[in-house]
Chain A
């Protein structure tokens, strides 16, 4: 019974990406809505089960106009889950949240005459984005990470050329590489990236975690201390291997 209390399960926070349909309204909105109605008339329910993001980049509108547009779309059963390209001042708590860093995927085909969305397989209506070659973002730290410092980089890997002090912490969306002594806490794969790994040239860590699973210094055992090691996940189990 007490083990439940002494070993609290952490809340797992994961990142996930979805393909959303981006609607780009054009001014004047009345004309654009007529064309949208025309499209919807051809295919009932085209917007029904899709996450829709409203891209208002470059549009010169105020909050009242934006709210009006969203209401009009709502009346057409188009529910907006987020707004891209809006100034922060334009969005209030009553409007959908701002979306940033969207990456373009291929165009989604509008249904042609008489076609029903329900009859189509999802692969056809929303083709997966073709893999665009893209550099994985990473962060390089060339100074020792001092006690009390916190390095948070959820986009990718963190590499430290130097030591990570006791009481310092590194949180990375990808893997963590430490060319020095690891004495602090490191959390890799925090955005739900279970294949992330942790590498260090000398292990004295207080805590290591990958994708929400963690081990404290006590769990790591004395035989690994001072060694060059790597950590990875195999399913739910934490694996440790020597790098020497």
Chain B
């Protein structure tokens, strides 16, 4: 049985799709079977970021409506043979995502894949709640600025109340992925400090991804940043995050600061 991860944030533009693709590729690079599912019906982007936009035939909505088999809709990545994409529909209405349909698709994917990564749309509407509903683990993507942090807090509240795990009285495992962290702006003090974000959200930190041109460059060539240039700073951050997701204990370095923050952050892990 695979693990279902939802990548969510509430706010748009913080890096959910980039992170879904990058983490998916990082996990698949070790030979584990990974599928990344795009839940953003009507505004799909994951196919572009993963460079599969010209190979989409069937999509998630087709599968849910019974117009295509799940295997027909899955697109295998050209670079990593264990990485798959299940695209969203760009033309259909998002109301075509039914709770029963999503449950069936996730259940079927869990049987064959080690990791099922659900790329949530922004907002707290149907698409976002369905994407998180069947998750085992949540990755909350947050930028170090107030509106993103507040929206993430709202999403954490929903993760603790509206998911299947929460309704069964279990605790949803939640991780914070801080993205678009700018060391220069942090130095000047016009960005929230990592500590402040952690204090407000009080969930364990999975990684800090620096703001970088490499991310934009990778998106433009249709490649997850972890495949485009695996020595770049954001790629290293995503590879480390993927290893932490698998349970490894790795120190987290704040970009721009020389010393490791091992003691500091692992002291907080229980938050």
Interface of A with B (CB < 8 Å)? 143-144, 146-149, 162-163, 165-168, 181, 183
Q: Which residues of B contact A167 (CB under 8 A)?
A: 150, 153-154
B157 touches A149 (CB 8 A): yes
Q: Which residues of A contact B67 (CB under 8 A)?
A: none
B154 touches A147 (CB 8 A): yes
A144 touches B199 (CB 8 A): no
**Given A143-B160, A146-B160, A162 contacting B153 (CB threshold 8 A):** no
User: What are 22 inter-chain pairs, A to B, with CB distance below 8 A?
Assistant: A144-B202, A146-B153, A146-B154, A146-B156, A147-B150, A147-B151, A147-B153, A147-B154, A147-B157, A148-B157, A149-B157, A163-B200, A165-B150, A165-B153, A166-B146, A166-B150, A166-B153, A167-B150, A167-B154, A168-B153, A168-B157, A181-B200
Q: How large is the interface on B (under 10, 10 to 19, 20 to 34, 35 or more residues)?
A: 10 to 19
User: Least Cβ distance of B163 to chain A in Å?
Assistant: 14
A163 touches B157 (CB 8 A): no
Q: Which residues of B contact A163 (CB under 8 A)?
A: 199-200, 202
Nearest 5 CB-CB pairings of A with B = A146-B157, A147-B153, A147-B154, A148-B154, A165-B153
Bound together, the chains give a CA A231 to CA B160 distance in angstroms of 31
Bound together, the chains give a CA A149 to CA B161 distance in angstroms of 10
User: Least Cβ distance of B72 to chain A in Å?
Assistant: 39
Q: Which residues of A contact B199 (CB under 8 A)?
A: 163, 181
Q: Which residues of B contact A165 (CB under 8 A)?
A: 150, 153, 200
Bound together, the chains give a CA A146 to CA B153 distance in angstroms of 6
Residue of A nearest to B156 (CB): A146
Q: Which residues of A contact B157 (CB under 8 A)?
A: 146-149, 168
Bound together, the chains give a CA A168 to CA B154 distance in angstroms of 9
Bound together, the chains give a CA A147 to CA B153 distance in angstroms of 6
Bound together, the chains give a CA A146 to CA B201 distance in angstroms of 8
User: Least Cβ distance of B199 to chain A in Å?
Assistant: 7
